[in-house]
Chain A
Amino acid sequence: MIRIGSGAGFSGDRLEPAVLLAEKGDLDYLVLECLAERTIALAQKRKSQNPLLGYDPLLEKRMELLLPIICKNKTRIITNMGAANPIGAAEKIVEIAQRLGISIKVAAVTGDDVLKYIHSDDRILETNEPISSVQHVISANAYLGVEAVLPALETGADVIITGRIADPSLFLAPMIHHFGWSVDDVGLLARGTIIGHLLECGGQLAGGYFADPGKKDIPNFAELGFPFAEVESDGSAVISKIEGTGGLINLATTKEQLLYEVMNPYEYITPDVIADFTSVYIREISPNRVEIRGGRGKKKPDTLKVSVGYQAGFIGEGEISYAGSNALGRAKLAGEVIYERLKEEVQDLRIDYIGVSSVHRTTYGQSLPYEVRLRVAGRAAVLEEAVKVGEEVEALYTNGPAGGGGARKYTNEVVGIVSTLIPRNKIDVQITIRESMKNEEKIV
Protein backbone atom coordinates (compact mmCIF):
# COMPACT_ATOMS: atom_id res chain seq x y z
CA MET A 1 0.00 0.00 0.00
CA ILE A 2 1.16 3.53 -0.71
CA ARG A 3 -0.21 6.81 0.56
CA ILE A 4 -0.52 9.67 -1.91
CA GLY A 5 -1.69 13.11 -0.79
CA SER A 6 -3.11 15.95 -2.84
CA GLY A 7 -1.59 19.23 -1.64
CA ALA A 8 -2.87 21.69 -4.25
CA GLY A 9 -5.73 21.74 -6.74
CA PHE A 10 -4.70 24.86 -8.63
CA SER A 11 -1.93 27.43 -8.80
CA GLY A 12 -3.48 29.82 -6.30
CA ASP A 13 -4.56 27.15 -3.82
CA ARG A 14 -4.25 27.56 -0.03
CA LEU A 15 -0.88 26.64 1.48
CA GLU A 16 -1.73 25.41 5.00
CA PRO A 17 -3.64 22.20 4.10
CA ALA A 18 -0.61 20.85 2.20
CA VAL A 19 1.64 21.55 5.20
CA LEU A 20 -0.74 19.66 7.49
CA LEU A 21 -0.99 16.79 5.01
CA ALA A 22 2.80 16.55 4.71
CA GLU A 23 3.24 16.68 8.50
CA LYS A 24 0.55 14.25 9.59
CA GLY A 25 -0.41 12.19 6.53
CA ASP A 26 2.44 9.63 6.74
CA LEU A 27 2.65 10.11 2.99
CA ASP A 28 4.88 8.38 0.48
CA TYR A 29 4.08 10.99 -2.17
CA LEU A 30 2.67 14.51 -2.08
CA VAL A 31 1.31 15.69 -5.43
CA LEU A 32 0.78 19.40 -6.12
CA GLU A 33 -1.31 20.08 -9.24
CA CYS A 34 -0.89 23.75 -10.14
CA LEU A 35 -1.24 24.11 -13.91
CA ALA A 36 -4.55 25.15 -15.49
CA GLU A 37 -5.19 25.26 -19.24
CA ARG A 38 -4.03 28.80 -19.87
CA THR A 39 -1.50 29.07 -17.01
CA ILE A 40 1.34 27.69 -19.11
CA ALA A 41 0.79 30.24 -21.89
CA LEU A 42 1.00 33.06 -19.35
CA ALA A 43 4.11 31.41 -17.88
CA GLN A 44 5.70 31.26 -21.36
CA LYS A 45 5.18 35.01 -21.60
CA ARG A 46 6.85 35.60 -18.22
CA LYS A 47 9.78 33.40 -19.31
CA SER A 48 10.16 35.34 -22.57
CA GLN A 49 10.54 38.51 -20.49
CA ASN A 50 12.94 36.89 -18.00
CA PRO A 51 14.49 33.47 -18.84
CA LEU A 52 14.93 32.71 -15.12
CA LEU A 53 11.15 32.82 -14.57
CA GLY A 54 8.21 30.99 -16.13
CA TYR A 55 7.58 28.60 -13.23
CA ASP A 56 4.68 28.81 -10.78
CA PRO A 57 4.54 32.17 -8.93
CA LEU A 58 3.91 30.40 -5.60
CA LEU A 59 6.78 27.89 -6.03
CA GLU A 60 9.05 29.58 -3.50
CA LYS A 61 6.38 29.92 -0.82
CA ARG A 62 5.22 26.31 -1.17
CA MET A 63 8.74 24.86 -1.19
CA GLU A 64 9.95 26.92 1.78
CA LEU A 65 7.09 25.47 3.81
CA LEU A 66 7.21 21.90 2.48
CA LEU A 67 10.89 21.02 1.93
CA PRO A 68 11.82 20.73 5.64
CA ILE A 69 8.80 18.50 6.29
CA ILE A 70 9.15 16.18 3.30
CA CYS A 71 12.85 15.67 4.00
CA LYS A 72 12.12 14.73 7.62
CA ASN A 73 9.25 12.40 6.65
CA LYS A 74 10.86 10.90 3.52
CA THR A 75 7.95 12.01 1.34
CA ARG A 76 8.55 12.67 -2.35
CA ILE A 77 6.92 15.63 -4.07
CA ILE A 78 5.58 15.40 -7.62
CA THR A 79 4.40 18.70 -9.09
CA ASN A 80 3.78 20.47 -12.39
CA MET A 81 4.82 23.81 -10.86
CA GLY A 82 7.66 23.92 -13.40
CA ALA A 83 5.11 25.30 -15.89
CA ALA A 84 7.12 26.84 -18.76
CA ASN A 85 10.48 26.41 -17.01
CA PRO A 86 10.94 23.15 -15.03
CA ILE A 87 14.76 23.43 -15.01
CA GLY A 88 14.62 27.01 -13.71
CA ALA A 89 12.17 25.79 -11.05
CA ALA A 90 14.52 22.94 -10.06
CA GLU A 91 17.36 25.42 -9.65
CA LYS A 92 15.15 27.66 -7.52
CA ILE A 93 14.21 24.68 -5.30
CA VAL A 94 17.88 23.80 -4.81
CA GLU A 95 18.61 27.42 -3.91
CA ILE A 96 15.85 27.32 -1.27
CA ALA A 97 17.10 23.96 0.07
CA GLN A 98 20.63 25.34 0.38
CA ARG A 99 19.34 28.36 2.24
CA LEU A 100 17.45 26.07 4.63
CA GLY A 101 20.42 23.70 5.01
CA ILE A 102 18.59 20.76 3.47
CA SER A 103 20.16 18.18 1.19
CA ILE A 104 17.90 17.43 -1.73
CA LYS A 105 17.78 15.96 -5.23
CA VAL A 106 15.42 17.52 -7.76
CA ALA A 107 14.50 16.05 -11.17
CA ALA A 108 13.11 18.40 -13.82
CA VAL A 109 11.01 16.84 -16.60
CA THR A 110 11.02 18.65 -19.96
CA GLY A 111 9.77 17.79 -23.42
CA ASP A 112 6.19 19.07 -23.28
CA ASP A 113 7.09 22.28 -25.15
CA VAL A 114 6.26 21.33 -28.76
CA LEU A 115 5.95 24.79 -30.29
CA LYS A 116 8.54 23.94 -32.95
CA TYR A 117 6.45 21.00 -34.18
CA ILE A 118 3.22 22.96 -34.63
CA HIS A 119 2.37 23.80 -38.25
CA SER A 120 -0.03 26.43 -39.48
CA ASP A 121 -2.11 23.77 -41.26
CA ASP A 122 -2.54 21.53 -38.14
CA ARG A 123 -6.22 21.27 -37.22
CA ILE A 124 -7.78 22.90 -34.17
CA LEU A 125 -9.79 20.21 -32.32
CA GLU A 126 -12.58 22.55 -31.20
CA THR A 127 -13.32 24.14 -34.59
CA ASN A 128 -11.62 21.89 -37.16
CA GLU A 129 -10.03 25.03 -38.63
CA PRO A 130 -6.27 25.32 -39.25
CA ILE A 131 -3.97 26.74 -36.55
CA SER A 132 -3.35 29.67 -38.90
CA SER A 133 -6.91 30.85 -38.12
CA VAL A 134 -5.68 32.09 -34.71
CA GLN A 135 -3.27 35.01 -34.68
CA HIS A 136 0.07 35.15 -32.88
CA VAL A 137 0.62 31.68 -31.36
CA ILE A 138 2.72 32.10 -28.21
CA SER A 139 2.96 28.59 -26.79
CA ALA A 140 2.25 24.92 -27.52
CA ASN A 141 2.51 22.32 -24.76
CA ALA A 142 1.67 18.64 -25.07
CA TYR A 143 -0.03 16.76 -22.23
CA LEU A 144 2.60 14.15 -21.36
CA GLY A 145 1.75 10.99 -19.42
CA VAL A 146 3.40 8.67 -16.94
CA GLU A 147 6.18 7.80 -19.38
CA ALA A 148 7.60 11.27 -18.75
CA VAL A 149 7.36 11.02 -14.94
CA LEU A 150 8.58 7.42 -14.44
CA PRO A 151 12.22 8.04 -15.48
CA ALA A 152 12.32 10.98 -13.05
CA LEU A 153 11.03 8.77 -10.23
CA GLU A 154 13.71 6.19 -11.08
CA THR A 155 16.47 8.74 -10.42
CA GLY A 156 15.49 8.66 -6.73
CA ALA A 157 14.84 12.42 -6.73
CA ASP A 158 13.05 13.88 -3.70
CA VAL A 159 11.19 16.41 -5.84
CA ILE A 160 9.98 15.78 -9.39
CA ILE A 161 9.09 18.99 -11.15
CA THR A 162 7.39 19.01 -14.53
CA GLY A 163 5.70 21.25 -17.06
CA ARG A 164 2.51 20.10 -18.79
CA ILE A 165 1.58 16.58 -17.63
CA ALA A 166 -2.00 15.29 -17.62
CA ASP A 167 -3.27 15.80 -14.07
CA PRO A 168 -4.14 12.15 -13.26
CA SER A 169 -0.73 11.02 -14.59
CA LEU A 170 0.96 12.90 -11.73
CA PHE A 171 -0.79 10.47 -9.35
CA LEU A 172 -0.69 7.35 -11.55
CA ALA A 173 3.10 7.51 -12.05
CA PRO A 174 4.03 6.81 -8.40
CA MET A 175 1.55 3.88 -8.33
CA ILE A 176 3.21 2.30 -11.39
CA HIS A 177 6.67 3.05 -9.99
CA HIS A 178 5.91 1.57 -6.57
CA PHE A 179 3.84 -1.49 -7.53
CA GLY A 180 5.73 -2.28 -10.73
CA TRP A 181 2.53 -2.21 -12.79
CA SER A 182 2.91 -2.83 -16.50
CA VAL A 183 2.23 0.28 -18.59
CA ASP A 184 0.18 -2.03 -20.84
CA ASP A 185 -2.22 -3.20 -18.10
CA VAL A 186 -5.17 -1.00 -19.05
CA GLY A 187 -7.26 -2.14 -16.07
CA LEU A 188 -4.70 -1.03 -13.49
CA LEU A 189 -3.96 2.17 -15.41
CA ALA A 190 -7.67 3.02 -15.51
CA ARG A 191 -8.09 2.40 -11.78
CA GLY A 192 -5.06 4.53 -10.93
CA THR A 193 -6.30 7.25 -13.28
CA ILE A 194 -9.68 7.32 -11.55
CA ILE A 195 -7.98 7.75 -8.16
CA GLY A 196 -5.79 10.49 -9.66
CA HIS A 197 -8.79 12.25 -11.17
CA LEU A 198 -10.56 12.21 -7.78
CA LEU A 199 -7.51 13.65 -6.00
CA GLU A 200 -6.33 16.20 -8.56
CA CYS A 201 -8.47 19.11 -7.33
CA GLY A 202 -7.22 18.98 -3.74
CA GLY A 203 -9.87 20.31 -1.34
CA GLN A 204 -12.74 19.65 -3.74
CA LEU A 205 -12.79 15.96 -2.83
CA ALA A 206 -12.98 16.83 0.87
CA GLY A 207 -16.07 19.02 0.62
CA GLY A 208 -14.54 22.12 -0.95
CA TYR A 209 -16.75 23.67 -3.61
CA PHE A 210 -19.62 21.53 -2.27
CA ALA A 211 -21.15 23.36 0.69
CA ASP A 212 -24.68 24.77 0.48
CA PRO A 213 -25.91 25.68 3.96
CA GLY A 214 -28.97 23.75 5.10
CA LYS A 215 -28.71 21.45 2.08
CA LYS A 216 -25.12 20.28 1.90
CA ASP A 217 -23.49 21.24 5.20
CA ILE A 218 -19.75 20.83 5.67
CA PRO A 219 -18.33 20.62 9.21
CA ASN A 220 -15.53 22.98 10.29
CA PHE A 221 -15.42 24.38 6.76
CA ALA A 222 -12.84 27.10 7.42
CA GLU A 223 -10.26 24.44 8.27
CA LEU A 224 -10.92 22.26 5.23
CA GLY A 225 -8.42 19.39 5.06
CA PHE A 226 -7.02 18.04 1.79
CA PRO A 227 -7.43 14.38 0.77
CA PHE A 228 -5.06 11.45 0.51
CA ALA A 229 -5.48 7.96 -0.91
CA GLU A 230 -4.24 4.65 0.47
CA VAL A 231 -3.72 2.78 -2.78
CA GLU A 232 -3.47 -1.03 -2.94
CA SER A 233 -1.52 -3.00 -5.54
CA ASP A 234 -4.78 -4.04 -7.27
CA GLY A 235 -5.68 -0.40 -7.96
CA SER A 236 -8.36 -0.09 -5.31
CA ALA A 237 -8.07 2.71 -2.78
CA VAL A 238 -9.46 4.24 0.36
CA ILE A 239 -9.71 8.01 0.33
CA SER A 240 -9.64 10.01 3.54
CA LYS A 241 -8.21 13.13 5.15
CA ILE A 242 -6.21 14.01 8.26
CA GLU A 243 -8.18 13.44 11.45
CA GLY A 244 -9.28 16.66 13.09
CA THR A 245 -9.31 18.70 9.87
CA GLY A 246 -12.52 20.23 8.56
CA GLY A 247 -14.43 19.08 5.50
CA LEU A 248 -16.27 15.92 4.56
CA ILE A 249 -15.47 12.90 2.42
CA ASN A 250 -18.57 10.86 1.68
CA LEU A 251 -20.52 9.34 -1.20
CA ALA A 252 -21.92 12.70 -2.33
CA THR A 253 -18.64 14.66 -2.31
CA THR A 254 -16.89 11.79 -4.13
CA LYS A 255 -19.60 11.44 -6.80
CA GLU A 256 -19.46 15.18 -7.58
CA GLN A 257 -15.71 15.04 -7.99
CA LEU A 258 -15.78 11.84 -10.11
CA LEU A 259 -17.85 13.61 -12.78
CA TYR A 260 -16.11 17.00 -12.51
CA GLU A 261 -14.89 18.29 -15.91
CA VAL A 262 -15.56 14.90 -17.54
CA MET A 263 -16.53 15.17 -21.22
CA ASN A 264 -17.49 11.49 -21.56
CA PRO A 265 -17.63 9.30 -18.45
CA TYR A 266 -17.44 6.17 -20.61
CA GLU A 267 -14.20 7.28 -22.29
CA TYR A 268 -12.01 9.60 -20.24
CA ILE A 269 -8.94 10.06 -22.42
CA THR A 270 -5.51 10.60 -20.85
CA PRO A 271 -2.04 10.05 -22.34
CA ASP A 272 -1.90 6.74 -20.41
CA VAL A 273 -5.26 5.06 -20.93
CA ILE A 274 -8.89 5.59 -21.95
CA ALA A 275 -10.69 5.06 -18.64
CA ASP A 276 -14.33 4.07 -18.16
CA PHE A 277 -15.53 6.07 -15.14
CA THR A 278 -18.94 4.37 -15.23
CA SER A 279 -17.40 1.06 -14.16
CA VAL A 280 -16.37 2.41 -10.74
CA TYR A 281 -17.96 1.52 -7.41
CA ILE A 282 -17.82 3.96 -4.50
CA ARG A 283 -18.62 2.89 -0.93
CA GLU A 284 -18.57 4.76 2.35
CA ILE A 285 -16.81 2.49 4.82
CA SER A 286 -16.73 4.81 7.84
CA PRO A 287 -17.00 8.57 8.45
CA ASN A 288 -14.62 10.39 6.06
CA ARG A 289 -13.37 7.12 4.55
CA VAL A 290 -14.55 6.16 1.08
CA GLU A 291 -13.51 3.07 -0.84
CA ILE A 292 -12.97 3.23 -4.61
CA ARG A 293 -13.16 -0.10 -6.42
CA GLY A 294 -13.32 -1.30 -10.01
CA GLY A 295 -12.70 0.55 -13.24
CA ARG A 296 -11.98 -0.64 -16.76
CA GLY A 297 -9.82 0.87 -19.47
CA LYS A 298 -8.83 0.76 -23.12
CA LYS A 299 -5.47 1.28 -24.80
CA LYS A 300 -4.09 4.83 -24.81
CA PRO A 301 -4.38 6.94 -27.98
CA ASP A 302 -1.50 7.26 -30.48
CA THR A 303 -1.62 11.05 -30.29
CA LEU A 304 -1.23 13.52 -27.44
CA LYS A 305 -3.38 16.60 -26.87
CA VAL A 306 -1.57 19.92 -27.22
CA SER A 307 -2.74 23.22 -25.69
CA VAL A 308 -1.90 26.08 -28.02
CA GLY A 309 -1.86 29.56 -26.48
CA TYR A 310 -2.33 32.62 -28.65
CA GLN A 311 -2.50 36.36 -28.23
CA ALA A 312 -6.21 37.27 -28.30
CA GLY A 313 -6.13 41.02 -27.75
CA PHE A 314 -7.39 42.88 -24.71
CA ILE A 315 -10.55 43.09 -22.63
CA GLY A 316 -11.52 46.41 -21.08
CA GLU A 317 -14.04 46.57 -18.23
CA GLY A 318 -15.78 49.25 -16.21
CA GLU A 319 -18.24 49.09 -13.30
CA ILE A 320 -20.45 51.58 -11.46
CA SER A 321 -23.23 51.19 -8.85
CA TYR A 322 -26.77 52.58 -8.56
CA ALA A 323 -28.94 52.26 -5.43
CA GLY A 324 -32.38 53.11 -4.07
CA SER A 325 -35.60 53.79 -6.00
CA ASN A 326 -35.39 52.96 -9.71
CA ALA A 327 -31.78 51.76 -9.33
CA LEU A 328 -32.31 49.27 -12.15
CA GLY A 329 -33.88 51.94 -14.41
CA ARG A 330 -30.93 54.27 -13.96
CA ALA A 331 -28.41 51.43 -14.42
CA LYS A 332 -30.15 50.42 -17.67
CA LEU A 333 -30.08 54.01 -18.93
CA ALA A 334 -26.36 54.11 -18.13
CA GLY A 335 -25.86 50.86 -20.03
CA GLU A 336 -27.69 52.23 -23.09
CA VAL A 337 -25.63 55.42 -22.98
CA ILE A 338 -22.37 53.46 -22.84
CA TYR A 339 -23.52 51.28 -25.74
CA GLU A 340 -24.24 54.38 -27.88
CA ARG A 341 -20.87 55.89 -27.04
CA LEU A 342 -18.79 52.76 -27.69
CA LYS A 343 -20.64 50.69 -30.32
CA GLU A 344 -18.56 52.00 -33.24
CA GLU A 345 -15.18 51.42 -31.60
CA VAL A 346 -15.35 48.30 -29.43
CA GLN A 347 -16.16 44.77 -30.64
CA ASP A 348 -18.42 42.40 -28.66
CA LEU A 349 -19.60 44.93 -26.13
CA ARG A 350 -21.34 43.21 -23.20
CA ILE A 351 -23.48 45.06 -20.66
CA ASP A 352 -24.39 43.35 -17.38
CA TYR A 353 -26.60 44.38 -14.49
CA ILE A 354 -24.96 42.77 -11.49
CA GLY A 355 -27.59 41.51 -9.07
CA VAL A 356 -30.09 41.15 -11.93
CA SER A 357 -28.85 39.36 -15.03
CA SER A 358 -25.05 39.39 -15.13
CA VAL A 359 -24.27 35.77 -14.36
CA HIS A 360 -26.65 33.66 -16.49
CA ARG A 361 -28.10 36.42 -18.75
CA THR A 362 -31.50 35.35 -17.41
CA THR A 363 -33.10 35.28 -13.96
CA TYR A 364 -35.57 32.35 -13.95
CA GLY A 365 -38.13 34.67 -12.33
CA GLN A 366 -38.55 38.23 -11.10
CA SER A 367 -35.83 40.31 -9.56
CA LEU A 368 -35.91 43.90 -8.30
CA PRO A 369 -32.89 44.63 -6.15
CA TYR A 370 -32.23 47.70 -3.97
CA GLU A 371 -28.86 48.14 -5.61
CA VAL A 372 -27.54 47.33 -9.07
CA ARG A 373 -23.98 47.39 -10.33
CA LEU A 374 -23.56 48.09 -14.02
CA ARG A 375 -20.69 46.22 -15.65
CA VAL A 376 -19.51 46.83 -19.20
CA ALA A 377 -16.93 44.64 -20.93
CA GLY A 378 -15.55 44.93 -24.45
CA ARG A 379 -12.85 43.34 -26.55
CA ALA A 380 -10.24 45.22 -28.54
CA ALA A 381 -7.18 44.33 -30.58
CA VAL A 382 -4.96 46.94 -28.93
CA LEU A 383 -4.69 48.10 -25.33
CA GLU A 384 -5.55 51.75 -26.07
CA GLU A 385 -8.99 50.78 -27.39
CA ALA A 386 -9.74 48.43 -24.49
CA VAL A 387 -8.94 51.22 -22.03
CA LYS A 388 -11.81 53.29 -23.49
CA VAL A 389 -14.44 50.93 -22.02
CA GLY A 390 -13.44 51.74 -18.45
CA GLU A 391 -12.96 55.40 -19.26
CA GLU A 392 -16.49 55.76 -20.63
CA VAL A 393 -17.94 54.06 -17.55
CA GLU A 394 -15.96 56.33 -15.25
CA ALA A 395 -17.18 59.34 -17.24
CA LEU A 396 -20.75 58.46 -16.15
CA TYR A 397 -19.90 60.46 -13.01
CA THR A 398 -20.58 63.70 -14.84
CA ASN A 399 -22.15 62.42 -18.07
CA GLY A 400 -24.55 59.71 -16.94
CA PRO A 401 -27.78 59.05 -14.99
CA ALA A 402 -28.30 60.28 -11.42
CA GLY A 403 -26.57 58.83 -8.41
CA GLY A 404 -23.97 56.50 -9.90
CA GLY A 405 -21.10 55.73 -7.52
CA GLY A 406 -18.01 53.59 -7.01
CA ALA A 407 -16.71 53.44 -10.57
CA ARG A 408 -13.81 51.03 -11.22
CA LYS A 409 -11.96 50.23 -14.43
CA TYR A 410 -9.74 47.37 -15.56
CA THR A 411 -7.96 46.06 -18.62
CA ASN A 412 -6.66 42.55 -19.17
CA GLU A 413 -4.47 41.05 -21.81
CA VAL A 414 -6.20 37.94 -23.18
CA VAL A 415 -4.45 34.67 -23.93
CA GLY A 416 -6.69 32.33 -25.91
CA ILE A 417 -6.33 28.55 -25.85
CA VAL A 418 -7.12 26.02 -28.57
CA SER A 419 -6.18 22.34 -28.78
CA THR A 420 -4.57 20.18 -31.40
CA LEU A 421 -2.99 16.70 -31.55
CA ILE A 422 0.60 15.55 -32.00
CA PRO A 423 1.96 12.04 -32.67
CA ARG A 424 3.62 10.54 -29.58
CA ASN A 425 6.85 9.79 -31.40
CA LYS A 426 7.57 13.53 -31.77
CA ILE A 427 7.99 13.83 -28.00
CA ASP A 428 11.50 13.79 -26.56
CA VAL A 429 11.43 13.69 -22.77
CA GLN A 430 14.54 14.82 -20.89
CA ILE A 431 15.32 14.55 -17.19
CA THR A 432 17.64 17.16 -15.66
CA ILE A 433 19.00 16.68 -12.14
CA ARG A 434 19.92 19.45 -9.72
CA GLU A 435 21.16 18.71 -6.20
CA SER A 436 21.91 20.54 -2.99
CA MET A 437 23.97 19.35 -0.06
CA LYS A 438 23.95 20.27 3.57
CA ASN A 439 26.60 22.82 4.56
CA GLU A 440 28.66 20.32 6.59
CA GLU A 441 28.70 17.86 3.67
CA LYS A 442 29.93 20.62 1.41
CA ILE A 443 32.86 21.34 3.77
CA VAL A 444 33.86 17.66 3.74
Chain B
Amino acid sequence: MKKKLYELAHSRAGDKGNTLMLSLIPYNEKDYPMICEKVTVEKVKKHLKNIVEGDIVRYEVPNISALQFVCHQALLGGVTTSLGMDTHGKSLSYALLEMEIEV
Protein backbone atom coordinates (compact mmCIF):
# COMPACT_ATOMS: atom_id res chain seq x y z
CA MET B 1 0.00 0.00 0.00
CA LYS B 2 1.25 3.48 -0.88
CA LYS B 3 1.21 6.15 1.76
CA LYS B 4 2.16 9.81 1.71
CA LEU B 5 4.96 10.73 4.10
CA TYR B 6 2.45 13.30 5.42
CA GLU B 7 0.54 10.46 7.08
CA LEU B 8 3.61 9.01 8.78
CA ALA B 9 5.90 11.89 9.65
CA HIS B 10 6.27 15.62 10.20
CA SER B 11 8.91 18.02 8.93
CA ARG B 12 10.25 21.56 9.35
CA ALA B 13 12.27 23.44 6.75
CA GLY B 14 15.22 25.66 7.60
CA ASP B 15 17.54 27.75 5.44
CA LYS B 16 21.15 28.98 5.41
CA GLY B 17 21.94 31.02 2.32
CA ASN B 18 21.07 28.91 -0.73
CA THR B 19 20.90 25.66 1.31
CA LEU B 20 17.63 24.11 2.47
CA MET B 21 17.35 21.73 5.43
CA LEU B 22 14.36 19.43 5.82
CA SER B 23 13.83 17.35 8.93
CA LEU B 24 11.75 14.18 8.69
CA ILE B 25 10.37 12.94 12.00
CA PRO B 26 8.08 9.91 12.16
CA TYR B 27 5.11 10.35 14.53
CA ASN B 28 5.75 6.83 15.78
CA GLU B 29 9.39 6.13 16.64
CA LYS B 30 8.86 2.50 15.59
CA ASP B 31 8.57 3.73 11.98
CA TYR B 32 12.09 5.18 12.03
CA PRO B 33 13.94 2.13 10.56
CA MET B 34 11.32 1.84 7.80
CA ILE B 35 11.61 5.58 7.00
CA CYS B 36 15.41 5.23 6.90
CA GLU B 37 15.09 2.35 4.47
CA LYS B 38 12.45 3.90 2.20
CA VAL B 39 13.28 7.60 2.14
CA THR B 40 16.66 7.45 0.47
CA VAL B 41 18.67 10.37 -0.92
CA GLU B 42 17.96 9.13 -4.47
CA LYS B 43 14.20 9.12 -3.88
CA VAL B 44 14.21 12.58 -2.31
CA LYS B 45 16.36 13.93 -5.12
CA LYS B 46 13.91 12.57 -7.69
CA HIS B 47 10.91 13.90 -5.77
CA LEU B 48 12.37 17.42 -5.42
CA LYS B 49 13.95 17.48 -8.89
CA ASN B 50 12.24 20.75 -9.90
CA ILE B 51 13.30 22.46 -6.69
CA VAL B 52 16.74 21.24 -5.59
CA GLU B 53 19.54 21.83 -8.11
CA GLY B 54 22.53 20.70 -6.03
CA ASP B 55 23.49 17.69 -3.92
CA ILE B 56 21.38 16.30 -1.11
CA VAL B 57 23.02 14.89 2.03
CA ARG B 58 21.05 12.72 4.48
CA TYR B 59 21.93 12.59 8.18
CA GLU B 60 20.53 9.93 10.50
CA VAL B 61 19.79 11.03 14.07
CA PRO B 62 18.82 7.78 15.84
CA ASN B 63 18.69 9.22 19.39
CA ILE B 64 15.61 11.19 18.41
CA SER B 65 14.49 8.87 15.56
CA ALA B 66 14.73 11.53 12.88
CA LEU B 67 16.35 12.23 9.51
CA GLN B 68 17.77 15.51 8.25
CA PHE B 69 18.07 16.24 4.51
CA VAL B 70 20.47 19.04 3.62
CA CYS B 71 19.72 20.25 0.08
CA HIS B 72 22.23 22.46 -1.71
CA GLN B 73 21.35 25.08 -4.32
CA ALA B 74 17.69 24.84 -3.48
CA LEU B 75 16.54 28.39 -2.76
CA LEU B 76 17.04 30.36 -6.00
CA GLY B 77 20.05 32.12 -4.52
CA GLY B 78 18.71 32.44 -0.99
CA VAL B 79 16.39 34.62 1.04
CA THR B 80 17.78 38.05 0.23
CA THR B 81 18.10 37.84 -3.54
CA SER B 82 15.54 35.20 -4.66
CA LEU B 83 12.71 36.30 -6.94
CA GLY B 84 10.49 33.51 -5.58
CA MET B 85 7.37 33.82 -3.45
CA ASP B 86 8.64 31.80 -0.49
CA THR B 87 12.18 33.14 -0.43
CA HIS B 88 13.17 31.17 2.71
CA GLY B 89 11.78 27.93 1.30
CA LYS B 90 9.89 27.49 4.57
CA SER B 91 6.92 25.80 2.88
CA LEU B 92 9.13 23.13 1.28
CA SER B 93 8.70 20.80 4.28
CA TYR B 94 5.25 20.11 2.85
CA ALA B 95 6.73 19.36 -0.59
CA LEU B 96 8.79 16.58 1.02
CA LEU B 97 5.71 15.24 2.84
CA GLU B 98 3.93 14.88 -0.54
CA MET B 99 6.29 12.01 -1.34
CA GLU B 100 4.72 8.53 -1.41
CA ILE B 101 6.34 5.37 -0.12
CA GLU B 102 5.27 1.70 -0.20
CA VAL B 103 4.40 0.48 3.32
Could you tell me which A residues sit within 8 Å of B by CB distance?
Answer: 37-38, 126, 209-210, 212, 215-216, 252, 255-266, 277-282, 294, 312, 315, 348, 350, 352, 354, 358-362, 364, 375, 377-379, 414-419
Task: Report B65-93 CB contacts with A as 1/0, cut-off 8 Å.
Answer: 01010100000001111011110000110
Complex CA gap A377/B82 in Å reads 10
The answer to whether A361 touches B51 (Cβ under 8 A) is: yes
The answer to whether A255 touches B23 (Cβ under 8 A) is: yes
The answer to whether B64 touches A282 (Cβ under 8 A) is: yes
Residue of B50, B78, B80 touching A361 (CB-CB under 8 A): B50
CB closest chain-B residue, reference A354: B85
Residue numbers in B under 8 Å from A281 (CB-CB): 63
Residue numbers in A under 8 Å from B92 (CB-CB): 360
CB closest chain-B residue, reference A38: B80
Residue numbers in B under 8 Å from A215 (CB-CB): 6, 10
Nearest CB of chain A from residue B73's CB, rounded to whole Å? 10
A419-B17 contact, Cβ under 8 Å, with A350-B83, A361-B50, A364-B98: yes
Residue numbers in A under 8 Å from B66 (CB-CB): 255, 259
Which residues 31-70 of B sit at the A interface, judged by CB distance below 8 A?
Answer: 50-51, 59-64, 66, 68, 70
Complex CA gap A259/B15 in Å reads 11
Complex CA gap A277/B23 in Å reads 13
Could you tell me which B residues sit within 8 Å of A by CB distance?
Answer: 6, 10-12, 14-19, 21, 23, 25, 27, 50-51, 59-64, 66, 68, 70, 78-81, 83-86, 91-92, 95, 98
Residue numbers in A under 8 Å from B6 (CB-CB): 215
Could you list some 28 contacts between A and B, CB below 8 A? A38-B80, A126-B18, A215-B6, A216-B10, A252-B25, A255-B23, A255-B64, A255-B66, A258-B64, A259-B68, A260-B14, A261-B14, A262-B21, A265-B61, A278-B60, A278-B62, A280-B64, A315-B83, A350-B83, A360-B91, A360-B92, A362-B50, A362-B51, A364-B98, A375-B85, A378-B83, A414-B81, A417-B80
CB closest chain-A residue, reference B93: A256
The answer to whether B10 touches A259 (Cβ under 8 A) is: no
The answer to whether A348 touches B80 (Cβ under 8 A) is: no
The answer to whether B23 touches A260 (Cβ under 8 A) is: yes
The answer to whether A377 touches B83 (Cβ under 8 A) is: yes
Count of A-B contacts with CB under 8 A? 112
Nearest CB of chain B from residue A114's CB, rounded to whole Å? 19
Nearest CB of chain A from residue B76's CB, rounded to whole Å? 8
Residue of A256, A259, A280, A417 touching B17 (CB-CB under 8 A): A417
The answer to whether B85 touches A359 (Cβ under 8 A) is: yes
The answer to whether B68 touches A265 (Cβ under 8 A) is: yes
Nearest CB of chain A from residue B63's CB, rounded to whole Å? 6
A256-B80 contact, Cβ under 8 Å, with A266-B59, A360-B95, A417-B17: no
Complex CA gap A362/B84 in Å reads 13
Complex CA gap A376/B13 in Å reads 25
CB closest chain-B residue, reference A362: B50
The answer to whether B63 touches A278 (Cβ under 8 A) is: yes
A259-B81 contact, Cβ under 8 Å, with A209-B12, A266-B59: no
- Since A257-B12, A359-B84 are in contact, a sample of 20 more A-B pairs with Cβ atoms closer than 8 Å, ordered by chain A residue number, is A38-B79, A256-B11, A256-B12, A260-B14, A262-B21, A277-B61, A278-B63, A279-B63, A280-B63, A280-B64, A350-B84, A352-B84, A354-B85, A360-B50, A360-B91, A360-B95, A361-B51, A361-B84, A364-B98, A375-B85
